[in-house]
Chains A and B, each alone.
Chain A
Amino acid sequence: MSSISELYDVTWEEMRDKLRKWREENFRNSEQIVDVGEELINEHASKLGDDIWIIYEQVMIAALDCSRDDLAWSCLQELKRQFPDSHRVKRLAGMRLEALERYEDANKLYDSILQDDPTNTAARKRKISILRAQGKSSEAIRELNEYLEQFVGDQEAWHELSELYINEHDYAKAAFCLEELMMTNPHNHLYCEQYGEVKYTQGGLENLELARKYFAQALKLNNRNMRALFGLYMSASHVAASPKVSAKVKKDNVKYAAWAASQISRAYQMAGRGKKENKCSVKAVEEMLESMQITMS
């Protein structure tokens, strides 16, 4: 089996740089990281200098993701040898135990870190991840809320909490988390769009109008967001169809829906151009838009 460097004709420097890019952008392409990282470690360790330690960490986590305990173990050994008393390495050892589903042992490890250093956020978050993996959603939610009372700026934690609430169908609380995220990340179209989806799911005239506004906001931030476009179409259509709205509101929403529909058609026309298999998708969208018009009246 040929090596990555042979297959893709890349140098070890390019492989190292690719790993750095994936690290910085927090990609979870674990199979690729394992392929590239394993070769880098095996063939070019001496050239990597101090970079090697962070690469060991990155590859170890990716290896756990791919059930490569052999690789994870050897990376862990190198890190343990170099940093014998490190909490960061201890946390990695804990993650390996989690991957092996030895949750009690993992928790013991994290507890020992927290005894030493009660502010260690990484260990706290791993404990919450264990609860999630075990399906203990209500406990995970409770712990995460407590965590956020102390570490109110932790974006990752707010997002995790919103996901947990969505899974539990607690849309009001999910909306609250997304509001926090939108406040601190006003240019993130994904949060606006997700908020729109939550509001739409909650239902009722007020929520649908709110949903429409946030879908529109998401589109302002990124006019290629298809979910937001469809969301705008659907929420505007529902508002226009509601018997409780004034003639003006109805008229406005019919306009919004019509605009969204034309944008959707346009996007599909452009995407479908020349591709045979997309023709049926385009047709399906056209028919769907038509059928939704019918239910509106």
Chain B
Amino acid sequence: MGEVELSCLAYAKMYLHASQFPRCSVNGLLLSSSAAGGAVCITDCVPLLHTHLSLAPITQLALTQVDVWCSQTQQRIVGYYQANACASDSSFLFVFSSPTPCALKIAEKIFEQCNNAVLLMIDGEKMFPGCRVPPIVMYERKDARWALKDKHTIMLRQWEETCSIVNQLFSSGDQALLVDFDSHLDDITKDWTNQKLNAKIMELVSPANGNV
């Protein structure tokens, strides 16, 4: 299908989310602030859960709240990401990056509203320092199922810069600022839209490169 662009902000927050809960499966929603049509530009993400991904009430609640927030901020939900806690035993290969039934279900829901929705799996095995390859695998809806996307249609602008920004966030301790929806429910004074962290990341993104 079409091209997908992943911004530094979205990537950084997903990565931080997975790193904050290394023993749990985590998930979240991918957002876009660009108009529909053409390439899918994932400009931001909202980290959702790190517990009980396959239970309905909190997922429904989170989807509703993010929907409302998106309409207030001119963004759209264009995809879903998940990082599994352990390798899953589906499809003969013990891989970290196969979508679980829960991931497929939520991605389907999103596809109902957005016909070029993206399902992104974070590959835990590739999340080590010095890894050259982005630890992500993307799926798109093709012929009534979710198929692996051609790597060449996925664009990560300024990959090196993004990696260095993530490293900077870890060394400054700012990665601890990340709040997901689950943490928000534990303490509702915490901001699941991560305004503070977003600002810090945007500061680090080099202004000379313009669009991220």
Q: Which residues of A contact B (CB under 8 A)?
A: 28, 132-137, 166-167, 169, 194, 196-198, 200-201, 203, 211, 226-227, 230-231, 234-235, 267-268, 271, 275, 277-278, 280-281, 283-285, 287-288, 291-292
Contacts and interface: CB of A to CB of B under 8 A. Distances in A.
Interface of B: 23, 52, 54-58, 60-61, 64-65, 68-69, 72-73, 86-89, 94, 100-102, 184-186, 188-189, 191-193, 195-196
B89 A137 contact: yes
Contacts of B100: 167
Nearest to B101: A169
B68 A278 contact: no
Contacts of B102: 169
Given A134-B86, A275-B189, A197 B55 contact: yes
B18 to A, nearest CB: 16
Given A197-B55, A211-B57, A226-B188, 13 more contacts: A28-B23, A134-B87, A135-B94, A169-B54, A200-B56, A201-B56, A201-B57, A227-B57, A230-B57, A230-B61, A278-B191, A284-B69, A288-B64
B134 to A, nearest CB: 21
In the A-B complex, the 3 residue pairs with the closest CB atoms: A135-B89, A201-B56, A277-B195
A280 B193 contact: yes
Contacts, number: 92
B57 A200 contact: yes
Given A227-B185, A267-B188, A291 B55 contact: no
A134 B89 contact: yes
Q: Which among B64, B72, B86, B87 has the greatest number of chain A C-beta atoms within 10 A?
A: B64
A271 B94 contact: no
Contacts of B101: 169
B68 to A, nearest CB: 4
Nearest to A292: B64
Contact of B189 (A194, A203, A278): A278
B58 A287 contact: no
B52 A226 contact: no
Contact of A291 (B68, B88, B186): B68
B54 A135 contact: no
Contacts of A200: 55-57
Given A136-B89, A169-B101, A288-B68, A234 B192 contact: no
Nearest to B193: A280
B29 to A, nearest CB: 14
Contacts of A291: 64, 68
Q: Which among B52, B57, B185 has the greatest number of chain A C-beta atoms within 10 A?
A: B57
B72 A283 contact: yes
Contacts of B186: 226
A253 B126 CA distance: 49
A278 to B, nearest CB: 6
Q: Which among A133, A230, A267 has the greatest number of chain B C-beta atoms within 10 A?
A: A230
Given A230-B58, A280-B72, A135 B86 contact: yes
Given A268-B188, A271-B188, A277-B193, A234 B57 contact: yes
B200 to A, nearest CB: 13
